[in-house]
Amino acid sequence: MGTIKIEDLHKSFGSNDVLKGIDLDFKSQGITAVLGPNSSGKTTLIKTILGMVIPDSGSIFINGSDIKKNWSYRKQIGYLPQIARFPENLKVSELLSMMKNLRDEKCDEDYWIDFFELQPFLNKRLANLSGGTRQKVNITQAFMFDSPILILDEPTAGLDPVSRIKFKEKLFEEKMKGKQILVTTHIMNLVEDIADDLIFILEGKIHYRGHPTHLKNSFHTKDFEKAIARMVSGSTGDKADHPDTLFCEKYKMTL
């Protein structure tokens, strides 16, 4: 199982305070959606967990151990970036071999190759793959090490409807193995379909945490995106259209 605990996390870039005292304790099993508008701090938060950004203060614990000066914890994480910048001249088989050599641990790429039917593409270069096939390769490299923690940035981007359904079913299977799965996405129906927990970050702080259904019920709407807009605007009344519109204009979100 994988656990993540974050205590009083702060991060600034120059005069821009991006994270302002984040406290989070992720349970050991479940799918958590991390949402927020552009420049809210969610990407910085994810990068601090991955060790790609060093916080100014605060602590992060993975399975009870502080990650400071302890880079070996990364082997417990499978990471799917939104845009994977691998060398375009690599063949799919070469990329997977490279990932195995880098991590030097037990993996099961054959399962995921079969799952996504990637056999015909193993000897093709990444530059020649369609966007959907590239995403299947990216998912394969993130999942094939059976890591207890998965961090997925826009995981269904580019997938066809059948692959998207299969992948969502697989996420539930991975959760039932006891894994902690963090997902960032702009696809709101994906959040409703898979998330056990929702964290909404706004201007560097946790603005909401709870189940998506609870959020909709709290704001008396069946529309998840409108519930988010009303939560942030502070309006729950029948005349919430105007605050919703103001919210979307300010934070560049689409209802």
Q: What is the pLDDT of residues 113-151, one digit of tens each?
A: 999 999 999 999 999 999 999 999 999 999 999 899 999
Shared domain for 131 and 200, answered yes or no, is yes
Looking at residue 117, what is its pLDDT? 95
Closest to 100 measured CA to CA, from 75, 66, 135, 133: 75
Domain shared by 201 and 226, yes or no: no
pLDDT the model gives residue 252 = 43
Tokens of 45: 């938060």
**Helix/strand number for the chain, H first, E second:** 9, 10
At 251, the pLDDT band (50, 70, 90 cuts) reads very low
**148, 182, 229 from 224: Cα distances, Å:** 29, 19, 9
pLDDT-derived band at 254, boundaries 50, 70, 90: very low
What does the alpha-carbon distance between residue 30 and residue 33 come to, in Å, rounded to a whole number?
10
Q: What is the pLDDT of residue 223?
A: 87
Domain with 196 in it: what CATH number? Answer: 3.40.50.300
Are 204 and 217 found together in one domain? no
Do 118 and 234 sit in the same domain of this protein? no
pLDDT in tens, 232-245: 776 444 443 433 43
pLDDT for residue 250: 43
Q: Is the model's pLDDT at 246 over the cut of 50?
A: no
Nearest Cα to Cα of residue 190 among 67, 18, 31: 31
**pLDDT bracket for residue 94 (50, 70, 90):** very high
Query: Are residue 112 and residue 147 in the same domain, yes or no?
Result: yes
- State the DSSP code for 125: B
DSSP code for 56: S
- Give the residue numbers spanning the domain of 55: 4-210
pLDDT at 240: 39
Q: Does residue 79 sit in the same domain as residue 89?
A: yes
Instruction: Report, as an integer, the average pLDDT of 177-196.
Output: 90
User: Do 235 and 197 belong together in one domain?
Assistant: no
Same domain as 117, residue 76: yes
Token look-up 């056999």 returns: 119
Looking at the structure, tell me whether residues 107 and 225 fall in a common domain. Answer: no
* Whole-number pLDDT of residue 7: 96
**Integer Cα distance of 125 and 201 in angstroms:** 38
